A and B are shown apart, each in its own frame.
Chain A
């Protein structure tokens, strides 16, 4: 039975891949040379985990921009169009003994782990070298909030007018888009797809603190601005 299932899954992947290739796929960027897009260096992301529901405030900085992120455990934070080195400082905002654990991830590997159980305890991490001081606040400050379903995994394409970035994460997640369109005005969008439908999708796009678009839907939702 297991061997048959294995074969079906493999066959499905091959057929689907072939079909999409024949149809030309969905090109959001690099249309002149599809299939030959070079990979950029491994990007950075963070997971704040531990006791579910513990509130925290994170200060995240790369060499160009910094952000304050509020949330509760568990939350994933990713910077797209990252400009390393990065530094992150996560502080519990509760006076209790709950565990907050910070995982700094480069590519798909946990690079740094730090934890705290203290009142307003802090966990710190860095990646990609030394960032001597925190960068100025991001401008524009473009964030995607993926809020529900709380038991879920999604894939996303985050795009500006020249580049697209693919990522996969658990929900809840905050995606920080550093300097889209070179820091100038222009279109940004995000296409979010649940890996397996587990509930209603709820995604916000917030720019400079203002809610620009909210999307609620089933398997796939899109938010955009500009």
Chain B
């Protein structure tokens, strides 16, 4: 979005021209028979330039991808402006939930505008690709319609100004820039941005062709100075096998009683509403979804559902592995008309609208032996049955209303699948007890709704209040903003957050936030205890950073508010004095990217966890950036703690001016803290 200050006289011709250009563009593009390319990236070959394991030197390596281009030519020196290039641009991420393309991914619902777009002034779409998890799990980039022909080469187009962003760990030498802050990347070589397909990549007319492109990147050396003067070199190399796509797994099936225009098959990560891909059917009702998956013997679990014509058909926790096909057989769609689920979501204490609340419609997979036949909460503490699948999602608007026109809850079958008496609607928002009311078949209204013939609810919550503190006033004399987070005790499940400001010259700041209470109504999920932690929002060379140089304030196992709308005051969080940055890297034995994680905790409060799929099976490396302090590292398998080890992140060393510090604004002492690396013992 661009904003410009104009007189009205010049605006209207520009508006008219933009309309004409938009209308004209599709007409000009109709000349070709086309097929669809569904592009995914893999990331094997990420390496540090000095030969060390990349996770021992870098925390994050991100590429800023503009597009991928294909051409029938096999001439690697072909001009950039040659008309034979066709482009698969970064998704514009515009917000329709109704698939308008044959294949739709989570990033491109509603299509895309092209690399430069039809917009007159909007900035180009760029996708930031995280290369750490990409080494384990392919990532869908986009799907696009291209001329149906055989292609000879592929080109990766990165942002020419900033092709990537890199966060190095703390440096091993003193003649270095600060670690754990973000640096811009620059090309050491662009020679690898184009590559020939190892065999030709054919796109027949009307077909959907998965295309997997691997990005190998050599990174480094680590920076010798701070980000204002130093960058980190990268040499990306793209390659692709063409029509062979062993990095994806396939799910196939045939749908009966379908409508070719409306019926779709959706795949989402199991137990979530994170849609990975949606496809329409072939004319005979068959479908084939190529999905990112871990290599066998590991697998990635998906929930699959058929929607758009008649009742939902769901299959939960379908295991998919790279290079294999998982057949679902025949999926028979029962007949049903459709209706809409609507209502408002309000704060149960203040009565105000809850903006951005998420609503998920749940349907149980009744083909699972012994599985639940409703998605009502069950057990103690109450949980949603594991065979339930999210078949539609909505969010409330600025007035707490839902659904917006054209979103899935406006098109719900009034008849649930056979053997299912009613739907359930999971309603959640940060700071509130998640509630799961029933939705009656037929009218699609909620029996426990505040208002008749709708699904309107007041979400319950209490309040948590406390203080953040410093041992002594901050040397800068300026206010410090700390983000305070409350999570379910003993877990990394965060419930809400707020900002606490310590005024300049003061040593404490206050905060109050809404949190779930311990005794909500029967269809809501209670929370008994919270762990609370706070992290100062620090700047480095004037730029905000994700990792703080101030100690993390903590308060473990504080009681939740006893009842709806009640307030609990918690002990003051531990001091958040300036300590400087630190980093730690290590190994975890027998890592499985889909189940293994490592969490960093302080005083019994879980502070951070490794990113999903970021631990490499080869090398089993992980790392963290955090303020220099004492922590515990814990190895988790599928959410269950296996082993722990205490770790002291090395204190930063003092370096002389000219220099910059993470929490020493203005460099008052004439010296700065330079963070130091720590190596953790292997986690069994």
A, B from the same assembly: yes
- Distance A146 CA – B405 CA, assembled complex (angstroms): 13
25 A-B pairs with C-beta separation under 8 A = A12-B17, A13-B13, A13-B16, A29-B7, A35-B9, A37-B7, A39-B6, A47-B1, A49-B125, A52-B97, A53-B97, A55-B395, A59-B499, A70-B356, A82-B3, A93-B429, A93-B430, A97-B611, A103-B123, A110-B124, A114-B182, A124-B544, A132-B478, A148-B404, A167-B3
Residues of B within 8 A of A26 (CB): 8-9, 11-12
CB-contacts of A133-153 with B (<8 A) = 133-134, 143, 145, 147-153
With A119-B609, A132-B539, A147-B404 already in contact, the answer to whether A43 and B11 are too (CB < 8 A) is no
Q: What is the CA–CA distance of A123 and B62 in the complex, to the nearest angstrom?
A: 13
Interface size class, chain B? 35 or more
B contact residues around A51 at 8 Å (CB): 106-107, 274-275
Which of B8, B16, B269, B546 touches A12 (beta carbons < 8 Å)? Answer: B16
B497 A27 Cβ-Cβ under 8 A: no
Out of B4, B125, B485, name the residue touching A39 (CB < 8 Å): B4
Please state if B22 and A196 are interface contacts (CB–CB under 8 Å).
yes
For window 106-128 of B, CB contacts with A under 8 Å fall at: 106-107, 109-111, 113, 118-128
CA distance A46 to B121 in the complex (A): 14
A43 contacts B3, C-beta separation under 8 Å? yes
Map CB proximity to A onto B489-523 as digits: 1 under 8 Å, 0 otherwise: 00011100101010010000000000000000000
Query: Which residues of chain B are within 8 angstroms of A204 by Cβ–Cβ distance?
Result: 397-399
- With contacts A52-B109, A149-B406 taken as known, whether A132 is within 8 angstroms of B665 at the C-beta atoms is yes
The verdict on A122 contacting B546 (CB below 8 Å), with A157-B11, A195-B19 known, is yes
Query: In the complex, are the beta carbons of B130 and A124 less than 8 A apart?
Result: no
Cα distance A21–B7 in the bound complex, in angstroms: 12
Number of A-B contacts (CB under 8 A): 322
Residues from 1 to 45 in B contacting A, C-beta threshold 8 Å: 1-13, 15-24, 27-28
Is A133's CB under 8 angstroms from B478's CB? yes
Task: For A119, give its contact among B16, B93, B107, B493 (CB under 8 Å).
Answer: B493
Given contacts A5-B24, A170-B92, 11 further A-B contacts (CB under 8 A): A9-B17, A55-B356, A74-B94, A75-B95, A87-B544, A105-B123, A113-B128, A126-B543, A167-B1, A168-B122, A195-B15
Are B499 and A118 within 8 A (Cβ)?
no
Q: How far is the CA of A59 from the CA of B483 in the complex (A)?
A: 11
How many angstroms from the CA of A26 to the CA of B10 in the assembled complex? 9
Asked whether B458 is an interface residue with its Cβ less than 8 Å from the other chain, the reply is no
Q: CA separation between A91 and B230, bound complex, in Å?
A: 28
Least CB distance from B306 to A in Å reads 20
A190 → chain B closest CB, angstroms = 13
Q: Hey, what's the 0/1 contact readout for A74-98 against B, CB within 8 Å counting as 1? A: 1110111010000101010111111
B159 interface residue per 8 A CB criterion:
yes
Residue in B3, B161, B269, B494 whose Cβ sees the most chain A Cβ within 10 Å? B3
Query: When the two chains form their complex, are residues A118 and B608 in contact, meaning their CB atoms are under 8 A apart?
Result: yes
Give the contacting residue for A89; candidates B127, B352, B485, B537; CB below 8 A.
Answer: B537
Q: A57 to B483, alpha carbons, bound, how many Å? A: 12
B612 at interface by CB-CB < 8 Å? yes
The complex places the Cα of A123 from the Cα of B16 at a distance, in Å, of: 37
Would A118 and B609 count as touching, CB distance under 8 A?
A: yes
Interface: A226 (CB within 8 A): no
Is B5 touching A37 in the complex (CB atoms < 8 A)? yes
CB of A81, distance to nearest CB on chain B (Å):
9
Residue contact B609 to A173, C-beta cutoff 8 Å: no
**Cβ contacts under 8 Å, A103 to chain B:** 123, 126
CB of A161 within 8 Å of the partner chain:
no
User: Of A151, A166, A200, which is within 8 A of B5 by CB?
Assistant: A166
Asked whether A211 is an interface residue with its Cβ less than 8 Å from the other chain, the reply is: yes
Known interface pairs A97-B274, A166-B6; A150-B95 also in contact (CB < 8 Å): yes
Complexed CA–CA distance, A52 and B183 (Å): 28
Please give, as numbers and ranges, the residues of chain A lying within 8 Å of B175 by CB-CB distance.
none
Which A residues lie within 8 Å of B119 (CB)? 153, 168, 170, 195
Contacts of B124 in A (CB 8 A): 110
Determine if B358 is an interface residue (Cβ-Cβ < 8 Å): yes
Q: If the complex has contacts A21-B9, A55-B395, A195-B118, are A166 and B4 also in contact, measured as CB distance less than 8 A?
A: yes
Whether a CB of chain B sits under 8 angstroms from the CB of A73 is yes
Which residues of A sit under 8 angstroms from B273, Cβ to Cβ?
Answer: 53
Q: Which of chain A's residues have a CB closer than 8 A to the CB of B476?
A: 132
Interface status of B288 (Cβ within 8 A of chain A): no
The answer to whether B110 and A49 touch across the interface, beta carbons within 8 angstroms, is no
Interface majority SS (helix, strand, loop, mixed), chain B: loop
Q: Does A163 interact with chain B (Cβ within 8 Å)?
A: yes
A89-B544 contact given A13-B17, A30-B7, A170-B92, CB 8 Å threshold: yes
A39 and B406 contacting across the interface, CB-CB below 8 Å: no
Residues of B whose CB lies within 8 Å of any CB of A are: 1-13, 15-24, 27-28, 62, 64, 92-97, 100, 106-107, 109-111, 113, 118-128, 130, 133, 159, 161-162, 165, 182, 269, 272-275, 352, 355-356, 358, 393, 395, 397-399, 404-407, 429-430, 476, 478-481, 483, 485, 492-494, 497, 499, 501, 504, 537, 539, 542-546, 608-609, 611-613, 665
Chain A residues within an 8 Å CB radius of B356: 55-57, 70-72, 93
A107 at the interface (CB under 8 A from B): yes
The answer to whether A76 touches B1 (Cβ under 8 A) is yes
Task: With CB as the reference atom, state the residue of chain A lying closest to B137.
Answer: A97
- A110 lies within 8 A of B126 (CB): yes
Contact check, A52 vs B1: say whether CB atoms are below 8 A apart: no
> Which A residues are in CB contact (< 8 Å) with B355?
70-71
B492 and A170 contacting across the interface, CB-CB below 8 Å: no
Closest to B133 in A: A117
Q: Which residues of A contact B539 (CB under 8 A)?
A: 130, 132
Asked if B12 and A74 make an inter-chain contact with CB atoms under 8 angstroms apart, the answer reads no
Question: B264 to chain A: closest CB distance in Å?
Answer: 15
The distance in angstroms between the C-alpha atoms of A166 and B274, with both chains bound, is 36
Contacting B107 at CB < 8 Å: which of A29, A50, A126, A155? A50
Q: Is the Cβ of A195 less than 8 Å from the Cβ of B18?
A: yes
Interface string of A9-21 (1 = CB under 8 A from B): 1001100110011
Residues in A with CB closer than 8 Å to B430 are 55, 57, 93
The answer to whether B93 and A52 have CB atoms under 8 Å apart is yes
Chain A contacts for B161, CB-based, 8 A: 109
Is A164 interfacial (CB-CB < 8 Å)?
Answer: yes
Are the C-beta atoms of B122 and A9 separated by less than 8 Å? no
Is A126's CB under 8 angstroms from B544's CB?
yes
Is B127 a contact partner of A101 (Cβ separation < 8 A)? yes
Is A199 part of the contact surface with B, judged by Cβ < 8 Å? Answer: yes
With CB as the reference atom, state the residue of chain A lying closest to B23.
A196
Residue of B nearest to A75 (CB): B95
CA distance A119 to B274 in the complex (A): 13
A94, B430: Cα distance in complex, Å: 8
Residues of A within 8 A of B96 (CB): 150-151
When A and B form their complex, which 8 residue pairs have the shortest distance between CB atoms, in order from nearest? A130-B542, A25-B9, A43-B3, A17-B13, A70-B356, A169-B1, A49-B93, A124-B544
CB distance from A52 to the nearest CB of B (A): 5
Task: Give complex CA distance A5, B630 in Å.
Answer: 68
Q: Which residues of A contact B4 (CB under 8 A)?
A: 39-40, 43, 165-167
